[in-house]
Structure 1
Amino acid sequence: MLALAPKSAVARDRLAATLWPDRAEEQARASLRQELSSLRRALGDGAEMISADGTSVRINGDAIDSNFGVPETGDFLEGLDLRSEPFDDWRRAEASRLSNATAPQAKAAVQDTSANDIFENPSVLVMGFVPASPDHQDVSFATGLVIDLRTSLSLWRWFPVIAPEAIGWKTDRDGDLREIATSVGAAYAISGAIRRSGERIRVSASLTEVGRGHLIWTESFDGEMSDVFDMQEAIGQAVVARVTPEIGRAESARIIRQRPANMAAWQLLAQTDELERTGGEGYGSPESNRAQVPLLEEAIRLEPNYARAWARLGRYYFRSALQGWIEDRDAAFEKALGYCERAVKADPTEWEGQALLAMTMIFGTHAFGPGKFHALEAVRLNPSSPYARHGCGCVLEWTGEAEEALHHLRAIFDLNPNYPNRAAALGDITTCELFAGHIEAAVESARQLRDIAPDYCRGLQRAAVTLGHAGEIDEAAEVLERVLALQPDLDEAYVRETYPYARPEHVEVILDGLRRAGWRG
């Protein structure tokens, strides 16, 4: 893992969670310390090639053969069984990546690319594409194409990709392109339009340098509906070639996605993208979520190993359990877990499946080690996804790593200042700032959350807790009054069940904060 990691370093927590997922966090970290000690003894004079500090373990990259990781026959580490699901997922993902890159390219990529590095490079905004017509099918097709293009660019993992959600899905016909792109801090903007005649389509795309308003590339692509993936690939290649000069390294660092073989299945997923886009703030309405289920089930019938369809089906049941849309929460979490596991098994590079699996493991089964692994894996695969960042931040909050959680939670708003689930993200930020001892920042986030989401009960609970601990008792009591109006039956059992912190003292912080606000539960 060290030899193939970005900059030849891996976080201690990730190593521990990957290699010892069945052990508690402290036990896993102790096992890692013991194994590192044994490894250094075994290396003898070469022990200095392994170094470690309080957060990371690294290997001297100069000591690694450039062909490392590329097997002469079979898949990478094929046949090695550590009885660890997170390790198996990592091995499959690395095998998939290495099979699509030459050894020198792969080595350069893993040494030079990391999730944190993307913010050192200029950001690219993907705008909405003008659909062929206002017809629902044409709008759905345009939405699906843009979402896939956004994800395709994100998987280069070389620069931040700002999604069309950040600008309300505006196209270049909805206002001044430079003003729209500047509002979200983008250095480049991709815009486009689609024309369609039966099964024939033309996709026109342009890349604009925002600062000067200079059009640096434009091209049209003609083909059949089934050529849409090749068009996305061509657009992505053209954009990357102009945004970053390190195209050789970027190419080998890219995660290669599995394409659906059945175009009809992809079109069904495009319809769910449109339902998601128009379904409302946060998790969307119960109705918009339920409407996606038959489309997803049909897509799976057409293509049984369609990882993204399995992940989206898992998303529905995860949301249903969390939001109480289904009475039997345990059964809903069980379904969500099964569907997300199917997604990751079908395609370990399906970042959405990894993120949802992480959340489901934490909330549904309190499996903190494996949950953390999958959350970190989602960000590694797609560091430009606000959803992956949010999931990772949330999981790290539950595992007791507030500072690291804040790193990911703050990145959400760099990637999408108008993140649709911003209230939930602010709730996580508020609590993490409190746990980290940043009282002023916690209060600021709590007040912002209170003001933008007066009906978001979970967020208001966190705001009341923070204001209570900060000594702002009048404000805390006012927020608590609103909480109890929304949830009159709030009791200690609910708090302990739905705040699944790995550290018992963090649950007590929540309970104590509520009581300081005047709660008698």
Structure 2
Amino acid sequence: MNQLSMSLLGGFRLDRAGQELRLRNRKARAVLGCLALSATGEETRERLVGLLWSESSEEKARASLRQVVHELRGVLPADVLAAERLSLVLDRDAFDVDVEQVKSALGQGEVHPALLAQTRPTEALLEGLEDLDPAFNVWLLARRQALHDQFARRLEMLLPAETRNQRTLAQALLNLDPTHEEACRQAMKAAVAEGNISGALRTYEALWNVLGEDFDMEPSLATQELVADIKSGKLKPGPRSEPPILVPPMPPQPRSAGGRLLLLVESFAAHGVPEERGYLVQGFRHDLIACLARFREWFVMDGGVLPARDASIDRVSGRYSIGGTAYQAGDRISLVLTLRDGETGIVVWSERIDVGLDTWFEAQNQLVRGIAMSLTGQISAARLSSIATRSDVSLAAHDRWLLGQSVIRSFSPEHWGRARALFLESIAEDPNFSSSYSSLAQLDNVEHIVNPGVWRDRARE
């Protein structure tokens, strides 16, 4: 099989042996892009449906996904895409993906041409597909920001350490962030060292223009002093004398499911409920499990007992259990639900429901969804209270998200960067945790209101 290549930066393109493989359906390109950007090459059908058909009914959305899978199978070689009952799996080893090539080059201390070809290259990730679905747009903006931060951090590590390709590194960092003054100063010094005074001044002029137009501010004093030294001839061309500092290759990132909550739904007890009506209680319980499973804040476990703490430490940040007891009085069934913290055994929430037998089925759907939403708030409040005094180092995806939400609600400008960092850390911990993406969008939507003097810009829009 000839190696396939997939370009995601600057729009989507799929090639095989130099020939473009065309996908007519734009959502087919988005699905393939999601799979290529996934840490494992796998995404659940439910997640893809939620990202690309969030405004359609579930039946119609799943039918549309099946059509997309059919088109992908017709274009891709056999065995590259596995369509399983619950998920889609892409053989990532069969593809050369430009995003992965950029990461690999940076890990070796090199700059991939994709970071030099255009300004703000990460903002061109899957360019042209932003309007497919509101949920997909939110996900895409978060992926672009996370990719930008990852590339920028590595370039910032390499910039002061490398001497042989310092100007290239500085230019790549300036392309990612045209307001990065340290990168601008390094690019100016490198240009002077090469005897290119005009190039150094053009770099400064570009920084001056972008800071003035976008932020109504001037470069820092250090940058202005550097350009003054260049113009006066105080900074002489010549090789740098500092010895190079060796920067170790970027270590591979472990693939992890992240740390979400584990929610155990215990078997419900039925007292005084006739055997022939026991199915009502069990049906209610299974409907509750099905509803809770749709929330990405937790894993749902059906019955049994909570696993030992050390057995779930890598995937689970906290453990809760829901218990239920039903009993019948006349023509009504009462159901008592309790939520317990698996670590302490403390009951953090309870609710009693009385439902008439004649209206049981009509009330069940509404009650179950109301309980699920109430549980979301109660678990979040209990969890936030328990982690308030912990060190951030030990926090997993869900806990980082909760802390970020609490920081946002303070509407304090000085805490805004902290909230953004927590959400990005949560995404890095668990890329499938959708709440962190939503919170990033929430943050960007109101930043210009919370922080007086900060204007909306195209990137946040």
Structure 1 length-normalised TM = 0.27
Larger fraction in helix? 1
Larger fraction in strand? 2
Which of 1 and 2 has greater Rg? 2
Structure 2 length-normalised TM = 0.30
